[in-house]
Amino acid sequence: MSAATLSPMERLPAPPPSSPSLAVAPVAAMSAPAADLPPSRPIIDIDHVDFFYGQSQALHDVSLRLDEKKVTAFIGPSGCGKSTLLRCLNRMNDLIDGARVAKGSIRIRGIDIHAPAVDVIELRKRVGMVFQKSNPFPKSIYENITYGLRLQGVKDKGRLDAVVEKSLRGAALWDEVKDRLHASGLGLSGGQQQRLCIARAIAVEPDIILMDEPCSALDPISTSKVEELIHELKKEFTIVIVTHNMQQAARCSDQTAFFYLGRLIEFAATRTIFMNPSNPQTEAYVSGRFG
């Protein structure tokens, strides 16, 4: 291959091939700013994962540990595999033909989620998800939120009412919609719809909430509301957020993982990633030189 056709991958220093530096280094990096972050234990343990869509490999040997009740941001240019990894965490990739984890394992609370004994339905109850495009069901707000609970067989009206209020308050939507709980969820504005989806996700009380570019379709005001919400939510939930917007990652996450071409380049506390990245690729990306 001639020098003129060098891919960015080759121009930039390749990520360390062996796992110890990656798997351990982030932990070390994370423990370094222990002074400003409360100590916590890992809830998600991604271990040397190779992921394929049919023949094409989307993730190369990714290892990561995410902490409980923290916000972790996945950043990186389009097609770098961040969404793929996110969708691995609650096995939404199962729905795609030919998608598979070829190597490695993902453990949540120590349990390999791809093990045959794991019930994917139960897994998804524990690991909620908010999508890029807000997708409220064409039902009333009330029914949108109670959907998950009703699936679990909860019929008690009092309890459902309580959950609706709690979830809507949790999603900072209660005051805006409390008078029209039985109006269609499709009648809300874009930002409200997305918060409704978040309320819907937290109504089933998951441990982890995955957010796949939740603000990419929202205007700045709605975005800031959702970001505030994320801040509130991390008191109770572990949050993993995929974002294109580096300011957003800087504003609302505790730890940040930078992906590039299907590889994890760097994983550290958000401040470290943005102020003092150890990898030149990361620096190039966060300073806006490519991506």
Partner 1 sequence: MASTRIPPSPETQADATPAATSAGFLANKARFRFFGLTLDGCIKAFFGGNAVVAVLVLTLITIFLFKEGGGFFAQNRANLQIYRQAGLEYVDFIRAQTTGHTALTHELSDLRLRQFHRLTEAGKSLAEANAALAGFDEFANQFGDAIIPLRGLLSDLTETATALKSKFATTENLKIARQQLLAAGKTAEADKIVISEVNFDAELKPLLGTLPAYQAASAETAAKITAALTVKPALPTPELQARLEQFKMLAAAYVADFPAVEKNLRAWDYRQPVPFFRSITSFIFGRDWIAQSSWQEWYGILPLFVGSLMVSFVALLFAVPLGIGAAIYINQLASPAEQRIVKPCIEFISAIPSVVLGFFGVIFLGENLRLLSQQSWLAWVPGFPFSERLNILTAGCLLALIAVPTIFTLAEDSLNNVPRAFKEASFALGASRLQTIIKVIVPASLSGIISAVLLGLGRVIGETMVVLLCAGNRIAIPDFTAGLAVITQPVHTMTGLIAQEMGEVPVGSIGRHALFMIGLVLFFLSLLINWLAQKIVRRYRIAID
Partner 2 sequence: MTSPTATHFAPRPGLGRTWERGALWLFRVATYFIVLCGAFVFGQIFWRGAPTVFTAHAPFVNVAFFTEAPESLHVFAYQGEKMELGDRAFNAFKAAHADAGAIKDDSYVYSAGGIFPCIVGTMLLVAGSMGIALFLGVSSAIYLNEYARDSAFVRFIRLAILNLAGVPSIVFGLFGFGMFVIFFGWNVSLLAGWFTLAFMVLPVVITASEESLKAVPKGFREGSLALGATKWQTIRKNVLPYALPGILTSSILGIARVAGETAPIMFTAAYVVRDKLPWEGLEKWTDFFFQGVMALPYHIYVVSSKIPQNEYTARVQYGTAFVFLLIVALIASTSIVLRSRLRNRYKW
Q: Which residues bind partner 1 (CB under 8 A)?
A: 41-42, 45, 47, 107-113, 115-119, 122-123, 125-126, 207
Amino acid at 144: N
Report which secondary-structure segment, H or E, holds 284. helix 280-286
Least distance (Å) between residue 30 CB and partner 1: 14
Q: Quick check: 102 binds partner 2 (CB under 8 A)? A: no
Residue 111 partner contact from partner 1, partner 2, none using kind-dependent CB cut-offs of 5 to 8 Å: partner 1
Question: Could you give the angle at the alpha carbon of 261 between the alpha carbons of 259 and 266, nearest 5°?
Answer: 25
Q: Which stretch binds partner 2 (CB under 8 A): 10-18, 126-134, 165-173, 232-240?
A: 126-134
Residue 235 partner contact from partner 2, partner 1, none using kind-dependent CB cut-offs of 5 to 8 Å: none
Q: How far is CA 245 from CA 239, 241, 251, in A?
A: 16, 11, 10
| Cα 192 from Cα 183, distance rounded (Å) | 13
Pairing of strands 42-53, 99-108: antiparallel
Contacts of 227 (CB under 8 A, 6+ apart): 215, 248, 251, 252
Of residues 199 through 228, those in contact with partner 2 by CB under 8 A are 200-201, 204
Q: Which pair of tokens denotes residue 126?
A: 């524990």
Q: Any idea how long the chain is?
A: 291
Among 105, 135, 184, 224, binds partner 2 (CB under 8 A): 135
Q: Which is nearer to partner 2, 104 or 148 (CB)?
A: 148
Name the residues that contact partner 2, by CB under 8 A. Answer: 90, 92, 95, 97, 121-122, 124-126, 128-129, 131, 133, 135-138, 147-148, 151-152, 197, 200-201, 204
